[in-house]
Amino acid sequence: MNLVRDGYTRLVRPALFRAHAGDPESIHEDMIGALALLGALPGVRDLVGLLTRTSGDPVTVAGIDFPGRVGLAAGMDKDARAALAWQYLGFAFAELGTVTAQGQPGNDRPRVFRAPASGALVNRMGFNNGGSVEVSNRLGVAGIVRGNRAAGIPLGISLGKTKATPLADAVGDYLTSFDRLAPHADYIAINVSSPNTPGLRSLQDGGALGELVGALTARAALQAPGDPLPVFVKVAPDLTWPQLDEVLQAVTDGGAAGLIATNTTLSRTGLAEADRRLADEAGGLSGRPLTARAREVVAYVAGHTDLPVIGSGGVMTADDARALLDAGASLVQLYTGFIYAGPALIADINEEVR
Ligand SMILES: Cc1cc2nc3c(=O)[nH]c(=O)nc-3n(C[C@H](O)[C@H](O)[C@H](O)COP(=O)(O)O)c2cc1C
């Protein structure tokens, strides 16, 4: 028996899923609480690290040295509470957030739904987070500064638009967050692809995106002349190829360092019969139903730009990660696969990639 693989899927996951059958989000809150504690307990975290960590395949992307290829996707640690813990589960990097300039509660609960027969989740969280001041303070207290590896691994911070801020003022909203959070990040991700903030995805339109990316990269150059903080742009899987061409043009013209492909999808294709009831829930679908589309988008992006691509979407097995890397991704991120398979998935991918 593999302690990590079987321990999670046979013991930890069933207990968690049963304990919180009504609302998957409460498991999530408990898990983040436990990981925040873990990050602060040297003996315990080292033991967990001994059980779960495997060495990855190091790679340098956008000037950042990553100790492996597998990272945590945005949305799991929205408030950076567990920033110090992710390395002990085996992640080679973690993308914190999405953080908005002002704190906000997000949508009403329930807002995340499990689709176990499909290996999927549907969520409409709506950027619930404490806001850029709170998150920046927390990272400061944890001693996390760009490049200092206080968390043991590179940390990205994902930025989104505050719901109450009109779209016309989006650039200022992102810049406010950037000023507060960039000192604590190894890269910034511009999230313009969540389906759960009204109008957000329209920021992927060429003109708006070019302006947003240009403003943030200019600010990065001002903050650190000679060594500007890399800015990535995270795109939706629901764009057509002409729309994606426009995004690539804007991202290149704006001076971004790379792309993250993809966020969750509005499509409901691939939901198993047993999960069809979730087809009518508003929100983004992630996990197994997204695997093929994310791979397609990564291949398209990698084929049409020289910028590096971080692959995200439906990595449920080591083979899925391998396929995303083969499609042109330099790194991969996990969310849904990690919920269903736990840290063993990271170990499996590390083994496969090595
Ligand atoms: C509950 C939940 C919350 C998420 N929140 C965010 C978020 O705040 N920002 C973001 O960029 N992506 C967010 N995502 C999208 C993930 O980062 C990821 O791109 C997507 O789920 C596809 O990967 P997966 O199939 O491995 O889950 C969220 C996903 C889920 C399931």
- The answer to the question of whether 108 is labelled as a binding residue is no
* H helices, E strands: number in the chain: 12, 15
Q: Which atom of ligand 1 is found nearest the CA of 260?
A: 19
Dist. CA 336–CA 320, nearest whole Å: 13
pLDDT at 21: 64
- What kind and span of H or E run contains 312? strand 309-312
Where does the pLDDT of residue 22 fall: very low under 50, low under 70, confident under 90, or very high at 90 and above?
low
- Which residue has its alpha carbon closest to ligand 1 atom 10? 74
- What kind and span of H or E run contains 303? helix 291-304
The boundaries of the domain holding residue 176 are: 3-353
77 Cβ neighbours under 8 A, 6+ residues apart: 32, 35, 83, 86, 94, 96, 97
pLDDT at 20: 63
Dist. CA 232–CA 332, nearest whole Å: 14
Token pair listed for 95: 């993308």
For residue range 297-344, list pLDDT tens digits in order. 999 999 999 999 999 999 999 999 999 999 999 999 999 999 999 999
Q: Is 203 helix (H, G, I), strand (E, B) or coil?
A: helix
For residue range 229-286, list pLDDT tens digits in order. 999 999 999 999 999 999 999 999 999 999 999 999 999 999 999 999 999 999 999 9
* Number of domains the chain is built from: 1
For residue range 63-97, list pLDDT tens digits in order. 999 999 999 999 999 999 999 999 999 999 999 99
- Contact in structure between 344 and 9 (CB atoms under 8 Å): yes
Q: What is the CATH number of the domain that holds 219?
A: 3.20.20.70
- Which residue has its alpha carbon closest to ligand 1 atom 3? 75
- The answer to the question of whether 335 is labelled as a binding residue is yes
pLDDT at 1: 52
Dist. CA 58–CA 348, nearest whole Å: 16
Where does the pLDDT of residue 10 fall: very low under 50, low under 70, confident under 90, or very high at 90 and above?
confident
- Which residue has its alpha carbon closest to ligand 1 atom 5? 75
> Ligand 1 mean position to 189 CA, how many Å?
13
Residue ranges lining ligand 1, Cβ < 6 Å: 73-75, 78, 98, 112, 121, 123, 125, 158, 191, 194, 234, 263-264, 286-287, 290, 312-315, 334-337
- The answer to the question of whether 1 is labelled as a binding residue is no
